[in-house]
Amino acid sequence: MVNLVEGEKSREIIRRSREFMDILTQDVDVLPMVADRGEGVYVWDVDGKKYIDFSSGFAVVSLGHSNPKVIEAIEKQARKLVHFPLADFYHELGASVAEKLSKSCPGGGNKKVVFTNSGAEANEVAIKLARSSTKRGRILAFYGGFHGRTMGSLSLTASKSVQQLGFFPTMPGVIHAPFPNPFRNVWNIDGYEDPEELINRAISFIEDVIFKAYPPEEFAAVFIEPIQGEGGYVVPPRGFFHELFKIARKYGILIMDDEVQMGIGRTGKMWAIENYSVYPDSIQFGKAIANGIPLGGVIHRGDFGFVTLGQHSSTFGGNLIALSVAEVVLEETPKLLPNVERVGMHLGRRLSELMEEFEIIGDSRGIGLARAIEIVKPGKGKTPDPKKRDELLRECFKRGLLLIGCGESSVRIIPPLNVEIATVDRAVDILMEALNTVTE
Ligand SMILES: Cc1ncc(COP(=O)(O)O)c(C=O)c1O
């Protein structure tokens, strides 16, 4: 076990973690990373080895590790007031962050914000909002989608069966539709060559199969991810959401846009849904909003919401330290969007070159700095090769590049939003070396 671990300190912490912690999702034989400190795009392990971190703490530290402005905000707020519950009282930070988030949303109009502690909880709130304001019970979601692991959000999640293992029954009333994945879909359509056909199939499945079996007027909401994150960084064909939104509007179904992973600048727009020029009824956020301090929430259209005092609340939702960092994130992120677009294009080009060179890369996809490559068996087919993917992650790790998987056999490449081209080039060079090793 853990023969990848070179250092004594790392080995000992891994041993104790595995003895006393019960929710480890990472196989220790793939990425035995024991972090000590971070700075910008780099992290060091407890034995002093330095890594380029292109996982950004699962798309959380978008301004980089130990960002000085973030540290300053935390320190300043901690000296003033750590916690004061916004459920019952008021604070300038709550008003200010909510106002900024509300104004950041596409589509204009009056928006309101509910603060939560995590992405899963944001989706729980979105479920409650949709059900209580439409007085309907059913919800539509997509295969491959990930929305969290609490019972309500888990019922929307259909990414990996292990995430459901042993927890049935989850919340009733959720129906899943196939997501139009251009590379790999249930209809075996090459969606890069024929996006229209792929969109038609996905939409008619909803209209002609799901809505024939279940009354569309009983659906409260459809939950979407603008790019499926945990499902493999899957970007649907551009026109898909336009068509989906049309049928949702036709039946009065709310569109709840889960931007927990793709929001806050990751795709080069503040919100990933802006890439498709459509306007959802809510945006769920989390992860990068406070650069590592737990915070999430829902921004929803102001003409629906919680109407009765005490109908929803949270002790920590909108914690003051988290909100003070969110102020920094909301100030800094718009300035970084041009960098995300420029460096993201460069990263995309370099990954496409790798795909030309290595047969085991079946697909390279993404927008901005939300990128992934999918590892398949050699032969230009599409058979996923999760073992090879893990081998690749390990080889990158050995060489000091931290990457994480997604989907069945993909590798996500998600550096902080302020990453420089030179660092991207160094990381891709390491990835190339690792690809050479695993294909030898
Ligand atoms: C799209 C999406 N929604 C929700 C969640 C759940 O967020 P959290 O882990 O903060 O509960 C995640 C986490 O990966 C996510 O990617």
State pLDDT tens for residues 143-155.
Answer: 999 999 999 999 9
Helix residue spans in 175-277 (DSSP H): 195-204, 211-213, 240-250
Domain count of the chain?
2
Pocket of ligand 1 (CB under 6 A): 118-120, 123, 146-148, 225, 229-230, 258, 260-261, 286
Q: Which ligand 1 atom is the nearest neighbour of the CA of 259?
A: 1
Q: Do 121 and 225 fall into the same domain?
A: yes
User: Percent of the chain having pLDDT more than 90?
Assistant: 92
Beta bridge partners of 301: 111
Residue at which a domain ends, from 286, 301, 333: 333
In a domain, 1, yes or no: no
Q: How far apart are CA 386 and CA 264, in angstroms?
A: 30
Long-range contacts of 87-92 (CB under 8 A, 24+ apart): 87/313, 87/314, 87/315, 87/317, 91/320, 91/323
In a 13 Å sphere around the CA of 207, the CA atoms on its Cβ side amount to 14
Tell if the pTM clears 0.85, that is, is over it.
yes
Q: Ligand 1 pocket: which of 55, 260, 264 to mutate (most atoms <8 Å of CB)?
A: 260
Q: Do 318 and 363 fall into the same domain?
A: no
Domain interval for residue 54: 8-66+337-438
Specify the DSSP element, H or E, that contains 316. none
In a domain, 206, yes or no: yes
3-class SS letters over 33-87: CCEEEEEECEEEECCCCEEEECCHHHHCCCCCECCHHHHHHHHHHHHHCCCCCCC
Q: How far apart are CA 18 and CA 166, in angstroms?
A: 21
Matching residue, tokens 């996982």: 55
Ligand 1 center to 127 CA (angstroms): 15
Ligand 1 center to 261 CA (angstroms): 6
pLDDT value at 301 more than 60: yes
Q: How far apart are CA 414 and CA 55, in angstroms?
A: 5
pLDDT at position 26 is 66
Residue at which a domain ends, from 303, 333, 363: 333
Beta bridge partners of 236: none
Laid out side by side, the sheet with 370-375 consists of 361-367, 370-375, 410-413, 404-406
Q: Do 373 and 353 fall into the same domain?
A: yes
- Average pLDDT on 175-197 reads 98
Rounding to the nearest 10 degrees, give the CA dihedral for residues 209, 406, 101, 98.
100
Q: Ligand 1 pocket: which of 261, 293, 295, 316 to mutate (most atoms <8 Å of CB)?
A: 261
Q: Which ligand 1 atom is the nearest neighbour of the CA of 225?
A: 1
pLDDT digits (tens, 9 = 90+) for 244-276: 999 999 999 999 999 999 999 999 999 999 999
Q: Which ligand 1 atom is the nearest neighbour of the CA of 58?
A: 14
Ligand 1 center to 396 CA (angstroms): 25
Q: How far apart are CA 92 and CA 104, in angstroms?
A: 18
- Average pLDDT on 196-217 reads 98
Q: Which ligand 1 atom is the nearest neighbour of the CA of 145?
A: 1
Helix residue spans in 151-215 (DSSP H): 151-156, 195-204, 211-213
Backbone angles phi, psi at 412, to 5 degrees: -95, 145
Beta 410-413 vs 404-406: how paired, if at all? antiparallel
